[in-house]
Structure 1
């Protein structure tokens, strides 16, 4: 049986006798290619009608700019005015009523807002498929989100960000004056141009103020990154007002709250609301849990006016906020005017101080001159002796005064020095206390994030810690900080390994054993080398570590699927437990039957203690243990810890030959995994595969699109989306995704192979051959790539090249019946009948139920004159497929040629029962009936053959012969001559 999951079955090749007319013949060139992810597909001869860029009336579409979950933005040239514009369209398959309605609403609302900070709308129209498009101004720049992220600190270039914020407020204020509220204000919906121009984008959730009395339940949405997706409330949780999160009616002050959230992010560098899941963010938003935000605002160091304005906008009660966007803009303008006035006042004061200093210097020069003149007058009036005595007294007095002043200066300087030291000590103590308090919270936050396996939150906390690590008070935290840094690096590595082992590449997850070398390198870097590192050292390493459970989970997996020497002893030292130790011991010896027995005791024993979820998640993916046992074990763990991602992925993993009920079960578990990690592409890919198996193609493709959006740099996201698109008929769309996958992973042979077969399906045979040759070069032992390259060469009329590749496919997979069968047909085309028969018989030996191989062997044996052999193969094909019309036709031909006319008649009648329109079958039946002397029956069949195919030459000749024969048969005998 085949051991390559990419192998698919191909139909038989008809080979009909040259003396019989035949219907259209399916040659080996029509055989399908072999690749698989979500189903069997072929190198199709038809061309897909889908295109990567749509045709927009009046515009020349140039390129795709961006793509989201429901739509994409294209750059285009306006053919009438010659300018570049942006065209917004819906993705294929998303143009449902609600989506179209919201798209049109967004277009009309945006057009109602002629403001410099709102992108102008040029046109609203429809494409050829009746889906709408929107033509707008093309804005070259970046999002405000990227601008904020580019700062090294919130204080960087703060005036410029405040000016941008003021322009956003002006646009929102103008919309409010027109009776429109945005409802989804956030930095990613703000574009900042290369020359400072600001545009407020995405008015898809906007609504007239008059319509806001309704509860917002018509088209709910929640946050995924900065994206708005299907959920429970309208808008983005991290920026929405509490009343909006609770689904209550909203007015302009909901937008004011969002402006406050944006201003807070400008001042502090952090989002208003954060959480592990969207549900947590919505809950925080609905409760207006902004205590941390107020603390961050108080500590941000920005001007008090801006901090006060942000707090005013973030008031819990809508009535306590500014009335609308213009009020916020006015407050920002007043603040900026005050700053400018303070700058002008400061400049005037500096100028006055300078003038005063100049005047004082002039006065001192005059005083010195007057004093000199006075001394001269006194000296001229006094006697020399008096003058001399005075001089001596003055010198003594001056020396005494200078000594006293010097002593006083020393004492004053010492006092000032002591006072400054005391002030600095108090300041340092205050700063150290503040830094210690901040580091206490930050380190705690980092450790909690690490314990929850949240590498992003841990990284954000470490970034804050790094800014304080060299400040006073940080000395006591250095060991914990270094531990957090080391653990976070390990967590990132383990998460990447899990991403790889949970990423489907062939329609199912890769075997866990593929991760063994990655675990080995990761633990070596972390300081755990089984057999070398003493178990007691590992115990000390993990003692108190926030990622202890995460590390143990990976060690369990490494032991189950790699079993490096010494790891069992390490696990026993770190995590001693009789039940787990027993299972580890049996697993190390590959005694899976005994492991299954212990698992049976584990799930059925009334007094058996519950095992940690991490251990259950590891054991639950061991393929050698029956699925029923693993499922029971995993479901018990899911009941205890319903949000454990590893358990949910284990329950949602692919299984061989699943029933509809099992597929539905997989869908439910995958949906649960998506809800736990809504920002990860991993569970969405597994959900997409399960939905495909369930027959929900559009839902599956939507999942794959979400996965590609969340993991744009993961090649397998694009590969799986491409596979689904191609199998649903969108070959062009598949090619676009596959080229992106090749860009990301140019050395992946599987991706190259699918791109090659897709190009072949799109009639680009040179491109197909190029990609398939590259797949073969990258993976010389990849049998499926050799086989598909052979198919492409066969279509290109390179029969010798095709045979070479088919032989390579058979060399690497000698028991794959499909490869044997394809090689046999190619050799037959080469007229190597011995080789064709050899490989047809090998295909049948590999799979005795291979109907097409039996039929083709029958055709070949008939051509070689082996009538008994041909009859036997035709009958076997009919036994396997009682509705195999072609086998009945071939059987009828051989039976008649062998003299079994009744058998031939029976075979032809069965053929025509299955296919009454088989012209050659009617002709064959006519010949057999004529053999029995039934001329009328034969003539009727010949006439029917010609009615179905007027160009059936043998039927024409046979009808003429039988009509002539009948005429001769019924004519009166010639008269005898009269005797003379």
Structure 2
């Protein structure tokens, strides 16, 4: 070993072996690049959508709720808060120069109306095509127009409709108090929720009372009297006041007229204005042709207060109407209060009448008794017979009256019972109808969520279904509810299996074959057992299942990687297709060449070979098919189904190369996968690895932290975060995550090994030995744990123990460069220079770019006297890393020893350029300069070496010798003594 100062062998690194590739990727042509994790706005807007629906940034669009002449309303899920919202967008082709500003104005007006009966606005944004969208509260229910239409008669549940009307008036009155008028009030713009909540919608024509703009965009067409006019006259003819129909300025009383039209429709069942054409309806509104409507109001039989209020609101002149919506709401409230008071008064009067009748009966009995007494006194004994006869008659009359009253009481009681039973039956029927309606929507929502792979949304729907499953009306839904439960449980299990097979656990994603036993158990519980379950039964089971595609995808993977007898027949019965059947048959017979040709045809885009994304995603990860064909297959699939998670994850792993440029390609696919499943930790882990390979450490760590947040109970999330933290220099943070990972999964050798290695780096050697020995016990054939255990033992000067562990690591994995380099160092310590050289050379052969092993080999060769060999290794290290300062120092020593002083001087000067404070380097430079005769340069170098390190004994001796030599050179020769 060298005695030169500062010449040391590099220890074996304690990171994991280099044989663990990370997942890899290709770049989709239609996704932009980004320099930060999910930092690009285009990628953030890439969210999963149902087929045929627009993509809305930050939301998962689920379905269309309604549409009109200019726009439509969509149900969506807010991806940041997890709540369902309503999204309003313009229809394609309607984003004109007038429509867009009006849409934005509507959004802002609605947001300025914080009232319980006005839907809250959550966000106003822009779609990819530049058109606006509005996110607001989602009201589950139907429009007031539907409720009015579905009545059997105007008197049907009138109190409930009047209560709804009062809430509409309150919302309009609040808008009026804020200086806003709606200008398009009608039943179809009022939503009535499943629990009676009322929301006044569509403020697209609203304006400030002080505003003057009365014009709008051209309407693409509407039904007469029903749709909102978007031309010269704005509003809906069937509910429009005369001044609005004539295009004159309007104020709050225009809305009051519309409220009167709605109230008239509630009371009579007919609209105010109607016409064969829109122009006719507008003309009738402009002329205030409401004679028929007033006649219907007069004859409707409703309470006079409501009829009078409707007529006041419909006054032809605005001045004759109530001032605003609040006044109308107060009038309705007063009417309802009066009705309630009359009901209470009627009840009190009935009770008073009953008490009075009882009192009268008592008085008649007293009067009869008094009359008998008087007769007795007047007539004495002679009149006793007459009195007794009268008493008998009175008793008979009284008995008759009592019998009649008793019969009347019985009849009244029976009638009240019948009426109560009838009311209860009506109430039960209404409750059952309401429950059936709610269950219809909930079961539909659950099935839609299952079809979209939304296990959380389906679970939430099932919770609501459970609350109603025992209520009247639920009997018709039993089979569908049980099917939803079964399918949701299966979906959860399949997603769990996919999460496991996509989770990077040992530096890479495990092979799909590890999921085979999990698929077998899941399908057995679902009722699919190959060779036992008839294929026709499986086909019937999946025929109408909302998770049919998801189940077929898992069956396809099980077939590809499990080689399960009978599964080919099941897939043919449930999903027959000539191309898929041919590939399945070839897979069963392991005819991979034929499979590859069929896959090539699919990838080349032959129309007859188009395949669903689930099948492409499964075939695209089969290792027996060439990577190029698999990649082409997946790239073609992603064009057709850009939101398919399995396809995106397959593309993410399509390249094994971890080079930064290839990692950048992988990043794009994994970012897309994160966008599709933002609540899953799985794609974030693969994205974090790709970002790390790309050199973006901070983005990678942030991605791993997100994975831990989303999967706090997953030990591998903690493991990957810990690796990134440790490699970035945050050893305490890495230790904390690794300890938590061990707690979550104490039986995983890889995690124990990582914790032991980190503890060793932190000089906690006792803890490191405990964890590493446990890792070896858990997996004796794990080379990485043996190697790291050897490092800790060597640091404790247990050379024998270290040699044993290094040799085991090399036995298990003969081409492991780190273990070979470490074994070479340990053999050198044991003075086995031949064995050490052999190990260093094997390490270099295994990894030609392994700088540490090459440097150590150079040191060893120099010590053995092989200067040319040492110089060759040092130069190769410098070629691989021109900034590797130690190599220049070793090269300088070897070149000087080879009598190449100029070469040594060049090597030392390069060293000092990189490290000006290298004391030994200055000393070496001084020696080389002295060899060339540059004594002054040498003295200066020796002095600099001592300035940097006053204890450098070699520099002290060299300086003293050089100064003496210089003194001797300049001293005059001694004079000769004169001869006597």
Fold equivalence (TM over 0.5) = yes
Provide the C-alpha distance between the structure 1 equivalents of 2:926 and 2:971, rounded to a whole number of angstroms. Answer: 23
Provide the C-alpha distance between the structure 2 equivalents of 1:405 and 1:362, rounded to a whole number of angstroms. Answer: 14
Provide the C-alpha distance between the structure 1 equivalents of 2:723 and 2:339, rounded to a whole number of angstroms. Answer: 64
Selected match of 2:2 from 16, 23, 26:
16
- Residue 568 of structure 2 corresponds to which residue in structure 1? 568
Deviation at 1:550, TM superposition (A): 0.9
- Residue 225 of structure 1 corresponds to which residue in structure 2? 80
- Residue 158 of structure 1 corresponds to which residue in structure 2? none
Gaps of 5+ in 2: 23-35, 40-76, 91-99, 148-156, 172-196, 211-323
- Residue 48 of structure 1 corresponds to which residue in structure 2? none
C-alpha change, 1:755 and 1:369, in structure 2 (3 Å) is: farther
| Residue-by-residue CA offset, 1:37-76 (whole Å, 9 max, x unaligned) | 9999xxxxxxxxxxxxxxxxxxxxxxxxxxxxxxxxxxxx
Deviation at 1:361, TM superposition (A): 9.0
Instruction: Note if 1:254 corresponds to 2:114.
Output: no
- Comparing 581-590 with 877-886, greater Cα deviation is found at 877-886
Provide the C-alpha distance between the structure 2 equivalents of 1:23 and 1:329, rounded to a whole number of angstroms. Answer: 91
- Residue 671 of structure 2 corresponds to which residue in structure 1? 671
Pairing of 1:308-347 with structure 2 (within 5 A):
311=198, 316-317=203-204
Selected match of 2:865 from 856, 867, 871:
867
Aligned residues: 753
Selected match of 2:907 from 887, 896, 911:
911
Pairing of 1:88-487 with structure 2 (within 5 A):
223-226=78-81, 254=111, 256-257=113-114, 285=134, 292=141, 311=198, 316-317=203-204, 383=383, 385-386=385-386, 425-487=425-487
C-alpha change, 1:556 and 1:336, in structure 2 (3 Å) is: farther
Instruction: Note if 1:534 corresponds to 2:534.
Output: yes
- Residue 639 of structure 1 corresponds to which residue in structure 2? 639
SS in 2 for 1:28: coil
Pairing of 1:549-948 with structure 2 (within 5 A):
549-604=549-604, 606-653=606-653, 655-657=655-657, 662-712=662-712, 714-732=714-732, 734=734, 748-751=748-751, 753-754=753-754, 781-791=781-791, 806=806, 809-810=809-810, 812-829=812-829, 836=836, 839-840=839-840, 842-844=842-844, 846-847=846-847, 850-860=850-860, 863=863, 866-868=864-866, 871-872=868-869, 875-876=872-873, 878-879=875-876, 881-882=878-879, 901-902=898-899, 905=901, 908-909=904-905, 911-912=907-908, 914-916=910-912, 920=920, 936-937=933-934, 941=938, 944-948=941-945
C-alpha change, 1:345 and 1:828, in structure 2 (3 Å) is: farther
Provide the C-alpha distance between the structure 1 equivalents of 2:331 and 2:764, rounded to a whole number of angstroms. Answer: 64
> Is the Cα contact below 8 Å between 2:86 and 2:137 reproduced in 1?
no
| Residue-by-residue CA offset, 1:586-625 (whole Å, 9 max, x unaligned) | 3334443432222112223645331111101111222333
Deviation at 1:638, TM superposition (A): 1.9
Provide the C-alpha distance between the structure 2 equivalents of 1:376 and 1:664, rounded to a whole number of angstroms. Answer: 119
Provide the C-alpha distance between the structure 1 equivalents of 2:556 and 2:348, rounded to a whole number of angstroms. Answer: 75
Gaps of 5+ in 1: 1-14, 41-92, 97-221, 229-235, 265-271
Instruction: Note if 1:517 corresponds to 2:517.
Output: yes
> Is the Cα contact below 8 Å between 2:888 and 2:908 reproduced in 1?
no
- Residue 11 of structure 2 corresponds to which residue in structure 1? 28
Provide the C-alpha distance between the structure 1 equivalents of 2:393 and 2:614, rounded to a whole number of angstroms. Answer: 97
> Is the Cα contact below 8 Å between 1:450 and 1:547 reproduced in 2?
yes
> Is the Cα contact below 8 Å between 2:104 and 2:132 reproduced in 1?
no
- Residue 145 of structure 1 corresponds to which residue in structure 2? none
- Comparing 428-437 with 755-764, greater Cα deviation is found at 755-764
C-alpha change, 1:659 and 1:972, in structure 2 (3 Å) is: closer
Provide the C-alpha distance between the structure 1 equivalents of 2:653 and 2:326, rounded to a whole number of angstroms. Answer: 53
> Is the Cα contact below 8 Å between 2:704 and 2:720 reproduced in 1?
yes
> Is the Cα contact below 8 Å between 1:240 and 1:258 reproduced in 2?
no
> Is the Cα contact below 8 Å between 1:807 and 1:823 reproduced in 2?
yes
SS in 2 for 1:485: helix
Provide the C-alpha distance between the structure 2 equivalents of 1:830 and 1:345, rounded to a whole number of angstroms. Answer: 109
Deviation at 1:639, TM superposition (A): 2.0
- Comparing 650-659 with 492-501, greater Cα deviation is found at 650-659
Deviation at 1:416, TM superposition (A): 6.0
| Residue-by-residue CA offset, 1:445-490 (whole Å, 9 max, x unaligned) | 3222222222233223333333333333332322122112211111
Provide the C-alpha distance between the structure 2 equivalents of 1:888 and 1:420, rounded to a whole number of angstroms. Answer: 104
C-alpha change, 1:714 and 1:318, in structure 2 (3 Å) is: farther
TM-score, normalised to structure 1, is 0.62
How big is the alpha-carbon RMSD for the aligned residues of Structure 1 and Structure 2? 5.8
> Is the Cα contact below 8 Å between 1:718 and 1:737 reproduced in 2?
yes
Deviation at 1:702, TM superposition (A): 4.5
Deviation at 1:569, TM superposition (A): 1.9
Provide the C-alpha distance between the structure 2 equivalents of 1:334 and 1:792, rounded to a whole number of angstroms. Answer: 87
Deviation at 1:556, TM superposition (A): 0.9
Provide the C-alpha distance between the structure 2 equivalents of 1:245 and 1:783, rounded to a whole number of angstroms. Answer: 68
Higher Cα Rg, which structure: 2
Provide the C-alpha distance between the structure 2 equivalents of 1:522 and 1:542, rounded to a whole number of angstroms. Answer: 15
C-alpha change, 1:973 and 1:422, in structure 2 (3 Å) is: closer
